[in-house]
Amino acid sequence: MVSDGSTATGNAPGGALFVGSDVYRESAFGKHHPLSIIRVSGVVDICEMLGWFSPGQFRDSPRASTEQLSAFHDRDYIEALREADARGSVEKSVRDRYRIGTMENPLFPGLFRRASTAVGGSILAAELAMDGRIVFHPSGGTHHGRRERASGFCYFNDPVFAILTLLEQGLERVLYVDLDAHHGDGVQIAFEEDPRVLTVSVHEEKRWPYSGPVEDRGHGRARNLPVPKGFNDDELDFLVERAILPLATEFDPQAIVITCGADPLEGDPLSKLSLSNGGLWQAVEKLVACCNRAVVLGGGGYNPWTVIRCWSGLWGRLSGQTIPGKLPRPAQKFLGSLDCDLIDEEDVPDDWISRLVDEPNGGPVRSQIEALPALVLN
């Protein structure tokens, strides 16, 4: 299904673009936080080693201004975060009200710049997508952020800004699909009363933030597909084909925003799902074909090997590259140098070092999964 009589996204004029920033090369979150690992900077490095950036394809992310941030977030919260970053500390009342300076959402040098750059990148990605492009912004995907506070490692909610930007450009129907292991609660709450936006979240059941049961439709503009542990490639493809694409056909979006967290992958320490990166890539490719404007964001992911390989390969697929069977030696050396407090060295298989593509992880489509389409389509 292609909206507005246009061609499918893979044939969109101008080709795919990548939005990024050197701000993500700076250390963040503190030494032992799950997000202290190398992620997006490693994606850029691997893609450069593979020669996957043509001139003009990589676009530097600007920082969102206070005025831009205020389009969604409360001004008091924005200023509290800015001041906390400048001071390097928060009072208890500020911490309790805004959930900043906690173990979950710690303070670290450059926090405000980093968070506002993620928002600026998603705004830019949406503006670029309006030309009929796929735009990949792996630094985005902070889908838990609330209007008035931080939540779940997310200080601002950049997917909200991508959607708002598309709406401000005059679009009347934007589809948001969240493939992260955790429910896209912040985005759902932001748009659950807006008839111009349909949010669809595929996430692990009984996993933080413990929201998004299948019967939760917000105020009618949300659909949730909670899945069990061990969720496999064939089950994801089943839900894409039998639930998400039919929802898209009915909604007829003029643009799609996708949060493609890498935490549903086998080997992620903060989920129990079992997707291969190829399974995620296939899902995203099918979804971006819904219409001729697509913003693809990153999201969660707490295993640096699976995150970097997933998002590097996703960029390769979206930009029409040939993915090598074996990585060149410099890429292998880089992946071999990574570490992670949550992953034991002996648990790192050779394929995480030498290859981008995971072995497929198919399997039976369980009855719980088979029942979901009927529950969200009626």
Which residue type sits at 251?
F
Tell me if 35 sits within 8 A of 153, measured CB to CB: yes
Tell me if 178 sits within 8 A of 198, measured CB to CB: no
Q: What is the DSSP pairing of strand 17-20 with strand 58-60?
A: parallel
Q: Tell me how far CA of residue 304 lies from CA of 41, 78, 109, 185, 353, in angstroms.
A: 11, 30, 22, 24, 11
> DSSP class of residue 108?
-
- Give the burial class of 23: count Cβ atoms within 10 A of its Cβ; 0-12 exposed, 13-18 middle, 19 or more buried: buried
Q: Tell me how far CA of residue 369 lies from CA of 180, 200, 234, 297, 366, in angstroms.
A: 17, 15, 10, 25, 5
Active site residues: 144
For 156, the 3-state DSSP assignment is coil
Radius of gyration of the chain (CA): 19
Going across the sheet that includes 174-178, the strands are 58-60, 17-20, 134-137, 294-297, 255-259, 174-178, 197-204, 222-227
Rounded CA-CA distance 20/125 in Å is: 10
